[in-house]
Amino acid sequence: MKAGIRMWQSGLVAMLLFVSSQNHAGTEADVTVHGDRPGPIIHREIYGQFAEMLGRGIYGGIWVGENSSIPNIHGYRKDVVEALKAIKVPVIRWPGGCFADQYDWRDGIGPRDKRPARLNASWGGEESNQFGTHEFMDFAELIGAKTYLSINVGTGSPREMSQWIEYITADGHTSLAQERRANGRDKPWKIDYVGIGNEMWGCGGSMRPEFYADVYRQYATFLHSPNDTPIERIASGANADDVGWTDKVMSIAGSQIDGISLHYYTIPTGEWTHKGSATHFDEAEWMSTLQGAMHMDELIAKHSAVMDKYDPKKRVALVVDEWGNWMDQEPGSNDPALYQQNSLRDAVSAAITLDIFHAHADRVRMANIAQMVNVLQAMILTDKSKMVLTPTYDVFDMYKVFQGATYLPVDVQGPVYRYGNASVPGVHATAGRDASGVVHVALVNLDPHQADTVRVRLSGIKGTSVQGRVLTAPAMTSINTFDQPHVVEPKVFDGAKFGDGVLTVALPSKSVVVLDIR
């Protein structure tokens, strides 16, 4: 995960330093939801999570051990487990990230008091290996999530990969199946996805795409599931807008690929050495962050166009398995790597990104935000026995109604939010119809100052009642803390009313609203 960054920049931040007195030219928007033109299924896995072995993402965040005074379920934090189950986490990617390409799976099995400590060369410090294969697979099972294993290609071998998979999935009398049973697990687990390497252009081995494509073909050849349960094979894909990587890998190995990844992070300042504060930022960085989130649409379109050359039937998924906002670590924080707070800005940018994934659901069939707990744009922050849900968590909670829904195309016409010489659409939207027939519409107001009146026209949809929730806060920098955990949280929304066949919505500034229409 370390190098997977295109620092979103094109002179934007300098341009945004101008203070603008202009915002919307108007305060009205029109959104048409095309229920008569249903699109593809919004795969649940778009709402996937990422948990790498770094910082407090695992230890203290997910795992505290059975003997901890913190309430736990067989060593897993009870509060974190319940919170993740509540948002219906569909899939978890583990153990990396960059960490994966230094990981020896055998270090993380057997009695915990006999597991070796290793240097964490990617993120510093030592890895105790107290959380290993059994702990991860049991955790995914506990919260009802699918499993996505990142395989060590950088320092590993096809033999190590095939033996790890056999250890997890074999249901016979092989030595590896018996070893798993001796370590406490009788029945095999199910592996749903395997990532063959991570960021092979960078921390995974500094490879050229042609070389990696051949390495991928070798690994894919030896990827077997002993119980004949299919495992989806995910190739290590591009860094942001490097479509050349996608082109080469698809041309050489496309027939053996089930999905190819894409990594993209938004950095507010565009500067790796000074990314910007997660909590103390001005409107210029609010704007640059939202523009960075909007760039995801262009990236997906470019990579999809390349994939279409080799896969016009869209068999191969584009898997955005690292995405999110990357800011500076909290000032004065004693936490290990990549701990950052999470504000209303993160919630708005997350909603925009999820909207974009929905619009590309024909190709984007899994995504994994970075990361789940205590790292980067996390769902949850913990401090010893304390836990707080972030604004990003709230968006995933509100948007969970879209998991498995049929995408309904939307047209948006409305005001433009401007700051200095930069601009973005003032209103962003998405829609879907779930299996029970309920239509869900999400509206995002990107403007931190102006409220909007949004007229939602439902084409081919009969709706007579509406209810919803809204997420907003007093300031664009508003956060939840351990002492004040409810500053940013969803509330019942009563600002939507039907009249003359049109749904009129009073959309607050800097807000996310999700409506359920029956």
Q: How large is the C-alpha radius of gyration of the chain?
A: 23
Amino acid 438 reads: V
From the list 135, 199, 232, 285, the catalytic residue is: 199
Are 340 and 329 a contacting pair, CB within 8 Å? yes
SS3 label, residue 32: strand
For 121-158, give one letter per residue: b (16+ CB within 10 A) or e.
ebbeeebbbbbbbbbbbbbbeebebbbbbbbbbbebeb
45 is catalytic: no
From the list 45, 127, 135, 322, the catalytic residue is: 322
Looking only at the bridges linking them, the beta strands covering 193-196 and 427-433 are: unpaired
Picking from 206, 324, 327, 192, the residue whose alpha carbon sits closest to that of residue 262 is 324
Distance of CA 512 to the CA centre of its chain: 18
Residue 104, Cβ neighbours under 10 Å: how many?
Answer: 14
- Cα–Cα–Cα angle for 51, 52, 58, rounded to 5 degrees: 70
Sequence-separated (6 or more) residues with CB below 8 Å from residue 445: 426, 427, 451, 452, 507, 508, 509, 510, 511, 512
- Distance between CA atoms of residues 260 and 354, nearest Å: 19
Q: Which helix (H) or strand (E) element contains residue 261?
A: strand 259-266
Looking only at the bridges linking them, the beta strands covering 452-459 and 502-507 are: antiparallel
126 is catalytic: no
Amino acid 142 reads: L
- Distance between CA atoms of residues 503 and 466, nearest Å: 9
Are 159 and 152 a contacting pair, CB within 8 Å? no
Q: Which residues are catalytic?
A: 199, 322
